[in-house]
Amino acid sequence: MASESRMNIFLKALSKTVSDIKCHTLKPEQQECIRRLIYCGEDVLAVLPTGFEKSLVYQLLPTVYQNLHLLETGEMKHFMIVVVSPLEYIRQQQVANVAKTMCGVRAAAIGESEENDKKMPEGKYNIVYGGAEQWLNNRWKKCLQYGGLHQSKVLVVDEVHTIETWGIGKKGKAAFREAFGRLSELRSFLAMHTPVLALTATANEEMRNRLAKYLGMKRIEHIVVSPNKNNLRFTVLRADKELHCFDWLIHLMLERKGETPFTIIFCRTVNDIVSLLTHFLMRLETSGIYTDGEEPAHERCLLLGVYYSQTPKNHKESVSSLFEGLGGNVRLVFASTSLSMGIDFPHVQYVVHYGPSRNLTSHLQEA
């Protein structure tokens, strides 16, 4: 009976949280993630496809813990979680999203400002974001081990597939970002039995088992939603030296210019990005790469964009905001795989893979 009673209290706390933030009804898989973490105290590895609102799962956690504690004890208490997120732009986007949609929840990302960084160990925030390298440096390890962040209720690893794709070296090659291969260390810095929530959009059973091992997940619940989407159609074209495989897109841009459907071309290397950008600039010429207008061409808006690790921050933000439907003129972006992680672009109509992805998981992530 006691167990049933606590379950009822948990459901009331969850219901109040969803009501307070004016959230639509949670999907069953989102609710099950939260139940397993808070009520059962289990680790959760969730594979939830792009557009499924994965981040909502952990953004609700501090408030659910708070409401549960209030219902059980009659007292208000501050709760925190820590989030490992692979890219700075994703972290900034999520902090802004929490401020806009999560009433009463405070979020910040390590490195945004020294003032915020000083407040984090004091427990001033409910959600603290950081990259793998940031969490594993001495300053933040000490905060997790001895400071105010030690009592964080959940360790969240977002885009968890990056542990394998970035953090594990292969065939004698060093890992791209070896800190991602060491994330299991973070568990030892937090309070005993702190559950882990690992999130990704795509991972088959073999990969999920490897990821769970990398993170030292023991009592673990796998929650998996198929990435299959009925609105996707895949077409394969042979790429010749003259790149005639892109004629359809070039003709479309010449015809529709600023009305061209949003399109992303994922490239395997920076050299591929440069080659394709050069090809499109030559084929489209001035009339096809700028918006219409009476001003000189160089004063009009360019319809092409580039997004990879060395792209200037302001240009990355411009591309991302545009594809999220927040205005702008770029219609075609040449990108590395980083554009596929943690960002939902509902307005994109065409996705082109110039060459095969590293694996099927990456291909689905980009699609």
pTM of the prediction? 0.84
Burial class (CB in 10 A: 0-12, 13-18, 19+), 173: exposed
Domains of the chain: 1-224 (3.40.50.300), 244-366 (3.40.50.300)
Task: Say how far apart CA 25 and CA 15 lie, in whole Å.
Answer: 9
- The Cα–Cα gap between 28 and 296 comes to 54
Strands 304-307 and 332-335, how do they pair?
parallel
* 3-class secondary-structure state, position 155: strand
How far apart (Å, rounded) are the C-alpha atoms in residues 356 and 237? 12
Largest CA distance in the chain: 76
Q: What is the pLDDT of residue 128?
A: 97
Contacts of 206 (CB under 8 A, 6+ apart): none
- The whole-angstrom separation of Cα 269 and Cα 355 is 10
How far is the C-alpha of 367 from the C-alpha of 81, rounded, in Å? 30
Q: Please give the chain's pLDDT, 367 residues, in tens.
A: 455 588 999 999 999 999 888 776 899 999 999 999 999 999 999 999 888 899 999 999 999 999 999 999 999 999 999 999 998 888 988 999 999 889 889 999 999 999 999 999 888 999 999 999 999 999 999 999 998 899 999 999 999 999 998 888 887 788 888 999 999 999 999 999 999 999 998 888 999 999 999 999 989 999 999 887 777 788 888 888 899 999 999 999 989 888 888 899 999 899 999 999 999 988 987 766 765 555 544 444 578 888 887 877 777 777 777 766 656 678 899 998 877 776 667 778 899 999 887 777 777 777 6
Residue with the two structure tokens 């010449």: 254
What pLDDT is recorded for position 93? 86
Report the half-sphere exposure of 83 (CA within 13 A, side-chain side). Answer: 32
> Rounded to an integer, what distance in angstroms lies between the CA atom of residue 108 and that of residue 110?
7
Q: How far apart are alpha carbons 248 and 340 in whole angstroms? A: 23
Instruction: Identify how many contiguous H helices and E strands the chain contains and give both numbers.
Output: 14, 11
How far is Cα 140 from Cα 57, in angstroms, rounded to an integer? 24
d(CA 161, CA 339): 15
How far CA 293 is from CA of 168, 257, 302, 327, in Å, comes to 50, 12, 12, 18
